[in-house]
A and B are shown apart, each in its own frame.
Chain A
């Protein structure tokens, strides 16, 4: 029982930090805002302060929260399914596929728009999904998935796509190269709020479905044969969880590019604090992942303002030492 109240306590803390982050971060930025203007914007008076607050900062913070929560959840799910604490949302090549799609579109210079997604975003999303489908089918034999083959196939494909991307870089001109590199750094700066509103329901549904499978993921993350024998329909859970986690990763990669590190350290951190139960870890990933990326992004926006640093750089610079500190302290 002590373990359980401890978990509830930490989950409550994460939720509190999450809420505080939502309320505080919009008030931090490179511009000093006059908040009487911000309030009057709500009453219908157009002014720059209100636009910055409501149309730039808040969507961006929401995007950071959604992205951080999604990548943390996806990392959590991949670690459980692959029974490997080093797995990330990108281990199976989802981001490499996305990057290849994006870089290819930059090189080809094609422009169109699907459901509000730009060419590059669409290509990144399609690239991510095709990659995961490929990896999934490569790892299937005898009506079962080999997790081992899956990891190997994912990593091999990542390297292969990496080489193709380098090739495209080599063939690209200066402007294209700059655009490619900027995309691959990831960032939350170019946000079309409409796209954000469309993505949120998809992600929420994914969260709910995965939460519904939490107990099954617990058993599956211990051992596959055990899961079968305890009555878990392993094949179905694997299929649903792999596809959902990949889908949401693909979506986030398409919108924000491959932001690194969140999907590795947040799940890790959560397991240290909350243990092995996904009924706690999944809500935890929403709170901790969302708050973590929103905080990192606040640093990215302000640390050398008005320059906007790609947030992926901050997640690693901030998250890396913090995570090492936890590791050492724990040992």
Chain B
């Protein structure tokens, strides 16, 4: 579905991503983890052509990303940011409705169909009751669900998420990932989520990629990647792993040296 071929990207002459090559298959639920500054967000932005690679190419359905018309791209790929602070007073519904932009004629009014699809998207992420609220007065969790609904209103095949649960409490984190899991299983969406939460990724994702200093350090199934020596190398601290009693998936702990 998405293919990176020898992609490098530099900010001000400094390489953030170096020679990345990998493929995301349709229907995958993929997590990307790694320390701060590893280039995770940059990678996602490249995949949605918010940024353009300096070297290499990115293919979407075997077609180079740069050949896509911007609106066509938005019909296939949805992007969920970490959240944003808007200066102006958009309602939650305004934000969701923006997801209909790739389907609208420039001067046409919002159609009944646009409205219907936006409502459906808000139902799917459990935020329909917030539709008339001022976006900036919502809590972090509510805002993230609205942003996700806005991406769903694009009716995309692929969802790219940039640390979507960083600002959320435990309950909302799980709630959010449950929604993602449903989208992946029921609507066959391809999901790529960047996260700092290794445990959350290990519970929900089928495949995990680890980035460090702009390079792929590991890429594979959860069992293959979530290993003590690999994570030790990634985070530069000793890591201990046990298996979750109910799911059988790994849970990681940093090894703490307590001063008695």
List residues of A whose CB falls within 8 A of some B CB: 80, 83-85, 141-143, 212, 215-216, 218-219, 221-223, 225-226, 228-233, 271, 275-277
Given the interface contacts A212-B107, A229-B79, does A222 sit within 8 Å of B84 by beta carbon?
Answer: yes
Other CB < 8 Å A-B pairs besides A212-B107, A226-B84, A276-B89, 7 of them? A83-B88, A85-B87, A216-B101, A222-B90, A223-B81, A230-B154, A232-B101
Binds A, one of B29-37, B69-77, B186-194, B213-221: B69-77
User: Which residues in window 52-78 of B have CB below 8 A to A?
Assistant: 52, 70-75, 77-78
Question: Chain B contact residues (Cβ within 8 angstroms of A): what range?
Answer: 35 or more
Asked if B87 and A229 make an inter-chain contact with CB atoms under 8 angstroms apart, the answer reads no
Asked if A276 and B88 make an inter-chain contact with CB atoms under 8 angstroms apart, the answer reads yes
Binds A, one of B43-51, B170-178, B204-212: B43-51
List residues of B whose CB falls within 8 A of some A CB: 11-12, 45, 48-52, 70-75, 77-79, 81, 84, 86-90, 94-95, 98-99, 101-102, 104, 106-107, 150-151, 154
A231 nearest CB neighbor, chain B only = B74
Given the interface contacts A212-B107, A276-B89, A276-B94, does A230 sit within 8 Å of B84 by beta carbon?
Answer: no
Cβ distance B164 to chain A, nearest Cβ, rounded Å: 13
Asked if A225 and B106 make an inter-chain contact with CB atoms under 8 angstroms apart, the answer reads no
Which of B70, B72, B87 meets A232, CB within 8 Å? B70
Docked complex Cα distance between A38 and B63 (Å) = 70
Asked if A142 and B50 make an inter-chain contact with CB atoms under 8 angstroms apart, the answer reads no
Asked if B95 and A222 make an inter-chain contact with CB atoms under 8 angstroms apart, the answer reads yes
Chain A positions within 8 Å of B75 at CB level:
231
Asked if B50 and A229 make an inter-chain contact with CB atoms under 8 angstroms apart, the answer reads yes
Q: What are 20 A-B contacts defined by CB distance under 8 Å?
A: A83-B86, A84-B87, A212-B106, A216-B101, A216-B106, A218-B94, A221-B87, A222-B84, A222-B86, A223-B86, A225-B79, A226-B79, A228-B70, A230-B101, A230-B102, A230-B150, A230-B154, A231-B74, A231-B75, A275-B89
Cβ distance A168 to chain B, nearest Cβ, rounded Å: 37
Chain A positions within 8 Å of B99 at CB level:
230
Docked complex Cα distance between A70 and B235 (Å) = 56
Chain A positions within 8 Å of B107 at CB level:
212
Cβ distance A235 to chain B, nearest Cβ, rounded Å: 10
Docked complex Cα distance between A276 and B89 (Å) = 7
Cβ distance A29 to chain B, nearest Cβ, rounded Å: 40
Docked complex Cα distance between A303 and B151 (Å) = 56
Docked complex Cα distance between A271 and B77 (Å) = 32
Docked complex Cα distance between A222 and B90 (Å) = 8
Cβ distance B35 to chain A, nearest Cβ, rounded Å: 22
Asked if A226 and B98 make an inter-chain contact with CB atoms under 8 angstroms apart, the answer reads yes
Cβ distance A270 to chain B, nearest Cβ, rounded Å: 11
Asked if B74 and A276 make an inter-chain contact with CB atoms under 8 angstroms apart, the answer reads no
Cβ distance A170 to chain B, nearest Cβ, rounded Å: 39
Chain A positions within 8 Å of B49 at CB level:
228
